[in-house]
Structure 1
Amino acid sequence: MARTRAGTARRASITDVARLAGVSAGTVSNVLNHPSQVSDRTRTKVLDAIEQLSFVRNASARQLREGTSRTVGAIVLDIANPFFTATARGIEDRLAQDDLVLMLASSDEDPERESRFVRQFVEHGVRGLLVTPSRGTLETVARVRERGTDVVLLDHTSPFPDVASVAVDDVRGAALATAHLLERGHERIAFLNGPLSLRQCADRRQGVLAAVVEAGLDPGRVVVEVTLPSLNADSGSRAMAELLARPGPPPTATFCVNDFTALGAMRHLREASIAVPEQMAVVGYDDVDFAPELAVPLTSVRQPSHEIGWRAADLLLGDGEPEQVLFQPALVVRASSGA
């Protein structure tokens, strides 16, 4: 380990190794990258100097020079959400097959934060980006592609034929959940939804309304929509409190935009001594790991989260034409909806 003038330790450089071994920096580089071009005696001197200085090559700098980065960046809405945790594991499992490393960040549904991470990942020289777009447009993604960085949209459909994407048919998923509640006799259904600037929220709202119309009912009479500022448990709890405080008879069922908001909604129902499903049926979306483990197991729309991540990473690394992959969801019925 080399030392600064102040005597503190710093990371040894190729120049330090060359100085100690009595050779040029180019010779050290040859020992590291083309050892057959260096004599045994010189190679031994350089390796001894490397060991003495505890030298570690700067892989990032080498990869940037050679255009062979071993990292892939992924930006999701919220890594605290188990759906995105499982999706990230799918990405990681696919990257591991090619000895690549995942760099992961959460945008927290904030376009400015998303743009900052995109810029930082590109400056780091990532091999490509997997992005779940936050609120707003895809302008950031378009700019990155124009600069030569490959991008795959994650949990988001692509409006561009030359941009690959992996998503789930959320219109159908929400329709399945709503039809299930209608079939169980519920005539007034709360829908705890997020901002419509998020593609998932807009699509799920479309599915809810379509299922009600398909049943021959008036969405204006059946659906009571509450818009959440963010898709987490605290927002779900506050939305349920707001819903119950409204005048008139409350809905008898609630469909939540994801399982995190459903968890918060059920927490408030418990605190308010409202029984699930006897007094309020609840359905979530994502079917994350905790859904069947709750005191009242949660009915939810299942998304193949691991497969979404794996497929998105595979598309990023592939050489074929861009694909728009759309997985189909499935309704998993449990006790929270009266099963």
Structure 2
Amino acid sequence: MSGVSVKDVARHAGVSVGTVSNVMNHPSKVAPATVTKVQQSINDLGFVRNDAARQLRDGHSKTVGLVVLDVRNPFFTDVARGAETRAAQEGLSVILGNSDEDPARERAYLELFEQQRSHGVLISPIGDITARLGALRARGIPAVLVDRASPDRTFSSVTVDDVAGGRMAVEHLISEGRTRLVFVGGPLSIRQVADRLEGAELAARAHPEVSLELVTLDSLSVIAGRKAGAEIAARAELPDAIFAANDLVAMGVLQALMLQGSNVRVPEDIALIGYDDIDFAAAAVVPLSSIRQPAGMIGHTALEILLEEVANPDASPRHVEFQPELVVRRSTSASAVDAV
């Protein structure tokens, strides 16, 4: 039945409009038998609650906006799950937006969350969006950066030390006797990629015998990794190790290196390490070494900080930085006991 109002429900149940309101908003204040009667009327009439007016009165909706770089990446799925778990404890819902590494789409999602008067915004940004987030804050919508720190640290953030992670990956490859290294990733406008490259370069420069080549991609996808891997496999002189900026890129590289007709063996000819340690890494044909990030904890912590800022808008920004972890599997060490 369409157009059913709270008054209709009250009339059907034989109670006041105020009682129906209490059943929907404060059921503990109503006798259980009355709650049951009102809920039955709601079901019988097909009443659907419209929260728009209440949200206008409260000033905010019960949703939190989350904007990620690439929803296809399981890392961001795990971040979203962590945030959603914490949000649910507060009666909030997380609305996921995929910028797909496109600044225009990122702007559109931020405008949407502003229009919806979201409780707050979590975002893994493409570039510097300090000014845009400042405008949101002025409207009473706090924002927390996810997997990226703000350049001037004016916004709270939850990150992983990607410079340390990049260094860790290359130091592992060097410890396996690899000296001709390639970093595959991009675009470098994504801060996380730039930081991982910086760490890789720091590690390589500490060893004069080690070279590090950069192969820049236009996206952090399996397809982009497969294309780069095919080009590398076709070279007359191969590198002996590849560090991929994330596991999706690494999976694409691995697929290209292992195509029928390719004589490249992993790890015997080329060692391969990724970043994020998504679930698929351990299940690859050659289990993939990776740099692990605590994705679920990142999302959970970001939502926790957002709640703190909602409760105290004048609080100083918080910056939480997790440390990455090296996970060694057969793609870099033939003798490795594969981690899960």
Report how far residue 138 of structure 1 moved: 3.6
Partner deviation per Cα, 1:99-148 (whole Å, 9 max, x = no partner): 21111111101111011011111211210000000245443323222322
TM-score (norm 2): 0.85
Q: In the alignment, does 2:325 pair up with 1:330?
A: yes
Which amino acid in 1 is paired with 2:323?
Q
- Give the secondary-structure state (helix, strand or coil) at the position aligned to 2:331: helix
- Equivalent residue in structure 1 for 2:217, among 212, 221, 228: 228
Q: Following the alignment from structure 1 to structure 2, what is the Cα–Cα distance between the partners of residues 257 and 19? A: 62
Q: Does the aligned pair in 2 maintain the 1:109–1:135 contact within 8 Å?
A: no
Match of residue 257 from structure 1: 245
Q: Following the alignment from structure 2 to structure 1, what is the Cα–Cα distance between the partners of residues 215 and 318? A: 35
Q: Following the alignment from structure 1 to structure 2, what is the Cα–Cα distance between the partners of residues 37 and 211? A: 63
Q: Following the alignment from structure 2 to structure 1, what is the Cα–Cα distance between the partners of residues 209 and 59? A: 58
Q: Following the alignment from structure 2 to structure 1, what is the Cα–Cα distance between the partners of residues 212 and 38? A: 74
- Give the secondary-structure state (helix, strand or coil) at the position aligned to 1:108: coil
Partner deviation per Cα, 1:120-177 (whole Å, 9 max, x = no partner): 1121121000000024544332322232211000111122343100000000101010
Match of residue 28 from structure 1: 17
Report how far residue 18 of structure 1 moved: 8.0
Identify if the C-alpha distance between structure 1 residues 107 and 125 changes in structure 2 by more than 3 Å, giving closer, same or farther: same
Match of residue 6 from structure 1: none
Identify if the C-alpha distance between structure 1 residues 37 and 253 changes in structure 2 by more than 3 Å, giving closer, same or farther: closer
- Equivalent residue in structure 1 for 2:290, among 295, 300, 313: 300
- Structure 2 unaligned regions, length at least 5: none
Q: Following the alignment from structure 1 to structure 2, what is the Cα–Cα distance between the partners of residues 292 and 231? A: 19
Kindly report the root-mean-square deviation, in angstroms, between the aligned alpha carbons of the 2 structures.
2.9
Identify if the C-alpha distance between structure 1 residues 239 and 70 changes in structure 2 by more than 3 Å, giving closer, same or farther: same
Q: Paired residues, what number?
A: 321
Q: Considering only CA atoms, is the larger Rg found in Structure 1 or Structure 2?
A: 1
Q: Does the aligned pair in 1 maintain the 2:67–2:122 contact within 8 Å?
A: yes
Match of residue 288 from structure 1: 278
Partner deviation per Cα, 1:231-288 (whole Å, 9 max, x = no partner): 1111100011122334x41101100000000000000011024211011110000011
Partner deviation per Cα, 1:6-36 (whole Å, 9 max, x = no partner): xxxx34244766898999xxx7367414899
Which amino acid in 2 is paired with 1:235?
A
Q: Following the alignment from structure 1 to structure 2, what is the Cα–Cα distance between the partners of residues 46 and 270? A: 63
Identify if the C-alpha distance between structure 1 residues 212 and 65 changes in structure 2 by more than 3 Å, giving closer, same or farther: same
Identify if the C-alpha distance between structure 1 residues 277 and 30 changes in structure 2 by more than 3 Å, giving closer, same or farther: same
Q: Following the alignment from structure 2 to structure 1, what is the Cα–Cα distance between the partners of residues 301 and 328? A: 27
1:9-24 matches, within 5 Å, as 10-14=2-6
- Equivalent residue in structure 1 for 2:54, among 49, 56, 62: 62
Partner deviation per Cα, 1:13-72 (whole Å, 9 max, x = no partner): 44766898999xxx736741489999xxxx999989756532222124312322353211
TM-score (norm 1): 0.85
Match of residue 5 from structure 1: none
Q: Following the alignment from structure 1 to structure 2, what is the Cα–Cα distance between the partners of residues 183 and 36? A: 63
Identify if the C-alpha distance between structure 1 residues 21 and 165 changes in structure 2 by more than 3 Å, giving closer, same or farther: same
Match of residue 313 from structure 1: 303
- Equivalent residue in structure 2 for 1:91, among 83, 87, 95: 83
1:141-180 matches, within 5 Å, as 141-180=133-172
Structure 1 stretches of 4+ moved >4 Å:
14-23, 33-38, 43-52
Q: Does the aligned pair in 2 maintain the 1:158–1:324 contact within 8 Å?
A: no
Report how far residue 295 of structure 1 moved: 2.0
Match of residue 4 from structure 1: none
Identical residues among aligned pairs (%)? 46
Identify if the C-alpha distance between structure 1 residues 308 and 45 changes in structure 2 by more than 3 Å, giving closer, same or farther: closer
Partner deviation per Cα, 1:193-233 (whole Å, 9 max, x = no partner): 11111000110111111001122456xxx112111111111
Q: Following the alignment from structure 2 to structure 1, what is the Cα–Cα distance between the partners of residues 166 and 28? A: 62
Q: Following the alignment from structure 1 to structure 2, what is the Cα–Cα distance between the partners of residues 174 and 47? A: 56
- Give the secondary-structure state (helix, strand or coil) at the position aligned to 1:224: strand
Match of residue 242 from structure 1: 231
